[in-house]
Amino acid sequence: MPGVEVAMVAMATELNLAIVRDLGFTPPPAGPGDLLIALRGADPHRAVEELDARLTERAATAATSTAAGQPPLTTWSAARTPADLVLVSVPGEHAFCEAYDAVEAGLPVMIFSDGVPPAQERWLKELAEERGVLVMGPDCGTASIAGAGLGFANVLRPGPVGLVAASGTGAQQVSCLLDWAEAGVSHILGVGGRDLSAEVGGLATMRALRLLDDDPATELVVLISKPPDPEVARAVREVAAGLRTPVVEAFLPETDLTEAAGRALRALGRGVPEWPSWPGARRGTPRSVRGLYAGGTLCAEAAALAGPGEFTDFGDDAYTRGRAHPMIDPTLRLEAMSRVGPDEVVLMDVVLGHAADPDPAAWLAPAVARTPATVVIALVGAAGDPQDLHRQAAALREAGAAVHVSNAEAARHARSLL
């Protein structure tokens, strides 16, 4: 509204209370179940009236759009409607209770939230085994159920390959390469980055493998994970060996993601294409690589392939607390780019798809043009993504960046420039 300088409407979690204090407000006593409203401007009372009107309008619309006349107020009551999956995206300290209600109701659940303790994750997944449902997550950023994307999701053609992934961006990379090769994907079942750890024991991974084995649309499964616990990996391999559906294993760093996509294509009897790339400008005399990544698995893969340098995963919990994920908010990566010099190669990922930045080249291309460093970009996306991959690639190449749809090939190219 005209005259409003600051407006924040959020649940009164500790994090949001801290943000409000940083904005110069003194919040009243409140807890995470309360709605916190902070407004500053020329006429705050008018702003409050407008907010009340909008909230009232939304509540009335929601009430009239449900058959019962009252929308569900809790996960437990919502699970008693004709729902078939629950997505939990609340602060991590509150995610367990919501996920528990979903599992108790016999529904699979995707936990987008991070910050859930490993012991709670293990307990939920043991309960899910008893109830015969799948827990995806916590910290599950990507899933796709019969083409319906959850979290960060690319627009993929349907096909015979199912993915089980303890890595969101890892799943996006492999599925997008398969899409480039016109192979297509049946489902992507994310299981959370810790599922193959000793603490969790691969419970969701093994259940997801069995689910895809029972799915008539899935002819091949690709299993993706950062380095698993050796004993957990052994147990998972035993399950995979007993399936009717063949499984292609992609455990980093033993296998890079592009190699895994190629192995999947060969297992289907298809050829492996040349992955598209666009050349860029070489600047200065690069001696090391500076990795500025949004995806943790992509960052780990690049660090293993690109040679000497410094790599930062800006999607790590340490960087996302209190701000949006770097696939949405470019601020921290732009700041890091402003500090690089001509003796470095900047290597970074740009991930497209639903929920990601609607036009990443709009902010990144000017930064690429300004920097004295050579820039190499892994552009992870599918032809059907709303950002238009070819337009993004053209804008970044015009600014001087070398662009690859394969993160592994981008990392190797960065190494070759040193």
Same-domain pairing of 141 and 263: yes
Which of 152, 153, 101 is CA-nearest to residue 128? 101
299 Cβ partners below 8 Å, 6+ apart? 291, 293, 311, 312, 313, 315, 349
Q: Give me the residue label for tokens 């960087």.
A: 319
Report pLDDT for 69: 63
Would you say the pTM of this structure is higher than 0.85? yes
Which of 350, 233, 226, 227 is CA-nearest to residue 297? 226
Is residue 71, in this structure, part of any structural domain at all?
Answer: no
Same-domain pairing of 260 and 115: yes
Tens digit of each residue's pLDDT (9 = 90 or more) over 30-65: 988 899 999 999 998 899 999 999 888 876 665 555
For 72-122, the DSSP string reads --SHHHHTTSS---EEE-S-HHHHHHHHHHHHHTT--EEE------HHHHH
Tens digit of each residue's pLDDT (9 = 90 or more) over 208-235: 999 999 999 999 999 999 899 999 999 9
The boundaries of the domain holding residue 287 are 277-416
Same-domain pairing of 286 and 406: yes
Same-domain pairing of 100 and 21: no
Looking only at the bridges linking them, the beta strands covering 185-190 and 158-165 are: parallel
Same-domain pairing of 295 and 252: no
Is residue 384, in this structure, part of any structural domain at all?
Answer: yes
Same-domain pairing of 95 and 144: yes
3-state secondary structure of 219: coil
Same-domain pairing of 229 and 88: yes
Report pLDDT for 129: 96
Phi and psi torsions of 221, nearest 5°: -115, 135
DSSP label of 335: H
Is residue 72, in this structure, part of any structural domain at all?
Answer: no
The total number of structural domains that make up the chain: 3
Separation between Cα atoms, residue 384 and residue 216, nearest integer Å: 25
Q: Between residues 319 and 69, which one has the greater pLDDT?
A: 319
Q: What's the token pair of residue 302?
A: 């690049």
The fraction of the chain above a pLDDT of 70, given in percent, is 97
| Mean pLDDT over each residue of the chain, to the nearest integer | 94
Same-domain pairing of 235 and 337: no
Report pLDDT for 64: 59
Is residue 70, in this structure, part of any structural domain at all?
Answer: no
Phi and psi torsions of 248, nearest 5°: -100, 125
Is residue 39, in this structure, part of any structural domain at all?
Answer: yes
Same-domain pairing of 136 and 259: yes
Find the CATH number of the domain harbouring 263: 3.40.50.261
Is residue 108, in this structure, part of any structural domain at all?
Answer: yes
Which of 318, 340, 406 is CA-nearest to residue 114? 318
- Cβ neighbour number for residue 67 with a 10 Å cutoff: 7
For residues 90, 96, 98, 101, the Cα torsion angle rounded to the nearest 10 degrees is 170
CB 211 within 8 A of CB 129: no
Tens digit of each residue's pLDDT (9 = 90 or more) over 169-211: 999 999 999 999 999 999 999 999 999 999 999 999 999 999 9
Separation between Cα atoms, residue 293 and residue 280, nearest integer Å: 19
CB 225 within 8 A of CB 252: yes
C-alpha 394: how far from chain center: 24
Same-domain pairing of 376 and 261: no
Same-domain pairing of 261 and 289: no
Is residue 272, in this structure, part of any structural domain at all?
Answer: no
Residue 253, pLDDT above cutoff 90 = no
Angle at 111 (CA atoms; ends 93, 183), nearest 5 degrees: 155
DSSP label of 27: P
